Amino acid sequence: MKKLTDPSDLTAWKARLAEQRPVRQKTVVVSNGTCGRASGSSAVIEALSRILEERGLQEAIGLEVTGCHGFCEREPNIVILPDGLFYGPLKPDDIPRIVDQTLLKNKVIPGLVYKDPRTRRAFHLLKDIPFYRKQMRLLTGDNVRIDPDRIEDYILADGYQALSRALFDMTAEEVIREVDASGLRGRGGAGFPTGKKWQFCRNETADRRYIICNADEGNPGTYMDRSILTANPHCVIEGMIIGAYAIGAAEGTIYVRMEAPHALGQVTLARDQARKVGLLGRSILGSEFHFDLHIVEGAGAYVCGEETSLIASIEGYRAVSRQRPPFPAQSGLWGRPTNINNVETWANVPLIIRKGAEWYSRIGTAQSKGTKIFSLVGKIRNGGQVEVPMGTTLREVITDIGGGIKDGKKFKAVQTGGPGGGFLPAEFLDLPIDYDSLVKAGSTMGSGGMIVLDETTCMVDLARHYMHFTQEESCGKCVPCRVGTKQIHDILVRITRGEGKEEDLAELEELAETVKEASLCGLGQGAPNPVLSTLRHFRGEYLEHIKHKRCPAGVCGELSPPARKGARKRKHG
């Protein structure tokens, strides 16, 4: 493909690709994201490729390899187009039967379709499966038809059309106004209005501005960003180019943590493809706008997800946070105005520019627009990547989409917001998921982690676990975080060992509020939230440990009740 030097080149390329696309009776689409690979999708792909070749079926039946389809609990899985038949989880031994019965004879194989664990009802079409039915997959819906290795697939899915519109039909100020009017808020956790953040950066007087995509994603149990980067990396790149045009930046950086090599490789390949066809570099699509992207491999520290620590890491320094103001929009990378958004925020931008702010703002709630992707994990039947409109309730996500608690256990709590979030008990299941409602309830949206807990979870022990995590991940720069998190952790260890006192609870609350108020960055400010939320909603469980030397969940060593002696015990440190 020669370089695109005019917006009409992009339109013509898409038309040629559509004409050249092979017409096949059926296409088998294999989910091959990180979760799929870990579950054996490579062997399924190899078996499919081999048997189709052996039987001379490549012309009639296509084989497409894509990123994650979201239903991680049922990996490896396939979708057979055009009908949308869903099979999974699969083994290589299932492939001959699928070819013989389904691909050649149009017969559904009952043993391979999804069966609802609650009703035992079978569903064979992807669109009918409860996991997918209540979702609104604006960002993830194209995963089934895009091979992330091929920029051509993204072009066929209207890729880079929004960029063309922004560059040739809109001024930079109009782009910012459109993003602002959409109501898009940052998906990295703080929820700051994206358009306003862009305007602040553009308003700064400087000889150079930068933009950054924060793909560090270090929260335990979260993998939304890396799923987007491995399934549809071009939507992030397109969003960044549009944002750079609006802000007036000529350079951008995608910061990916070292523990996500698949995402790192996929976004690097996509960047190189965009460069090759002239969508990055000088005179993009023949315009006067120049922009290029750098990929930086992060150091793997949780604190690198905090924007000032991330900037320090890119500059080659130790990742420690800095005092604000000045904010990065005023003085960021290399001392220049810098705009930082996370992966999911950037991925929303092409949708908004292509379909319009009015369309986007109709989705969600009055103050929280659009959809949100969650990593639904924990003691849940149907774990995976879930994308729902803002305002969907916790119950709808956990019960209707997630299938409820597995192994016949009872729901106990859900954690949102990662290590800086909180735990919400059953009385909050009908809470709408939006930025303000979660904060009011004592938790946060965070970047989108959602960990479901059952009755076998000890909330005191889990609070201890998170304090250990944030203490270990603290950069150590400020005293409240460095010392305060250790003091909180030490008290929690004593309580889980049966050495706690009632006055410890007041001390925990005082320490937690001090760390929250006095810490320098978001890591320290959010670190006490798991403790404060468990004290708020599960105080009785703390008192059981202290007054009765008993762990109701049967987790905390010698405090486990006699009836749970066979339960898992955990050593504390």
Tell me the per-residue pLDDT of 220-233, one tens digit each, with 9 for 90 and over.
888 889 999 999 99
DSSP 514-552: HHHHH-SSHHHHHTTHHHHHHHHH-HHHHHHHHHS---T
568 — pLDDT class (breaks 50, 70, 90): very low
The H-assigned helical ranges of 286-373 are 307-314, 343-355, 357-361
The H-assigned helical ranges of 277-369 are 307-314, 343-355, 357-361
Q: Are 28 and 77 in contact (CB under 8 A)?
A: no
User: pLDDT tens-digit profile of 20-66?
Assistant: 999 999 999 999 999 999 999 999 999 999 999 999 999 999 999 99
Average confidence (pLDDT) over 70-80: 97
Q: Do the two domains 151-361 and 459-564 of this chain adopt the same fold? A: no
First vs last Cα of the chain: how many Å apart? 58
Q: Which residues contact 104 (CB under 8 A, 6 or more apart)?
A: none
Phi, psi for residue 273 in degrees, rounded to 5: -65, -45
Residue type, 500: G
Q: Which residues contact 200 (CB under 8 A, 6 or more apart)?
A: 327, 329, 330
CATH T-level fold of 151-361: Rossmann fold (3.40.50)
Which sign, positive or negative, has the C-alpha torsion 238, 239, 241, 242?
A: positive
What's residue 557's pLDDT?
80
Break the chain into its structural domains and give their ranges: 24-129, 151-361, 371-454, 459-564
How many CB atoms neighbour CB 502 within 10 A?
A: 10
Predicted confidence (pLDDT) at residue 566 exceeds the cutoff of 60: no
Phi, psi for residue 370 in degrees, rounded to 5: 85, -165
Checking DSSP bridges between strand 338-342 and strand 210-215, what pairing results, if any? parallel
User: pLDDT tens-digit profile of 503-549?
Assistant: 999 999 999 999 999 999 988 999 999 999 999 999 999 999 999 99
Which sign, positive or negative, has the C-alpha torsion 36, 38, 44, 49?
A: positive
Rg (CA), the chain: 25
Q: Which residues contact 538 (CB under 8 A, 6 or more apart)?
A: 413, 423, 425, 459, 460
User: pLDDT tens-digit profile of 454-474?
Assistant: 999 999 999 999 999 999 999
Whether the bond into 89 is cis, omega within 30 of 0: yes
Token pair listed for 569: 């015990």
What's residue 2's pLDDT?
80
Q: Which residues contact 347 (CB under 8 A, 6 or more apart)?
A: 139, 228, 232, 235, 236, 239
What's residue 117's pLDDT?
87
Q: Are 423 and 533 in contact (CB under 8 A)?
A: yes
- DSSP code of residue 381: S
Q: Which residues contact 241 (CB under 8 A, 6 or more apart)?
A: 163, 279, 280, 284, 291
Q: What is the largest CA-CA distance in the chain?
A: 75
82 — pLDDT class (breaks 50, 70, 90): very high
Reported CATH class of domain 371-454: alpha beta
Please count the helices (runs of H) and the strands (runs of E) in the chain: 23, 15
Checking DSSP bridges between strand 251-257 and strand 210-215, what pairing results, if any? parallel
Q: At what angle do helices 343-355 and 161-169 cross, to 10 degrees?
A: 70
Cα–Cα distance for residue pair 472/466, rounded to 1 Å: 10
- Per the listing, tokens 């052996």 go with 54
User: pLDDT tens-digit profile of 374-395?
Assistant: 999 999 999 999 999 999 999 9
What's residue 149's pLDDT?
97
Q: What's the burial of 468, exposed, middle or buried (CB within 10 Å: 0-12/13-18/19+)?
A: middle
Q: Which residues contact 24 (CB under 8 A, 6 or more apart)?
A: 59, 60, 61, 62
**Does the predicted TM-score (pTM) go above 0.75?**
yes
560 — pLDDT class (breaks 50, 70, 90): low
- DSSP code of residue 125: B
- CATH code 3.40.30.10 for 24-129: yes
Query: Mean pLDDT over all residues of the chain?
Result: 94
Predicted confidence (pLDDT) at residue 559 exceeds the cutoff of 90: no
What's residue 447's pLDDT?
83
User: pLDDT tens-digit profile of 328-379?
Assistant: 999 999 999 999 999 999 999 999 999 999 999 999 999 999 999 999 999 9
- CATH code 1.10.3720.10 for 459-564: no
User: pLDDT tens-digit profile of 231-279?
Assistant: 999 999 999 999 999 999 999 999 999 889 999 999 999 999 999 999 9
What's residue 190's pLDDT?
80
Cα–Cα distance for residue pair 213/417, rounded to 1 Å: 19
What's residue 430's pLDDT?
97
Q: Could you give the C-alpha distances from 228 to 281, 387, 431, 459, in angstroms and in order?
A: 23, 12, 27, 32
Cα–Cα distance for residue pair 154/165, rounded to 1 Å: 16
What's residue 411's pLDDT?
97
Q: Are 367 and 361 in contact (CB under 8 A)?
A: no
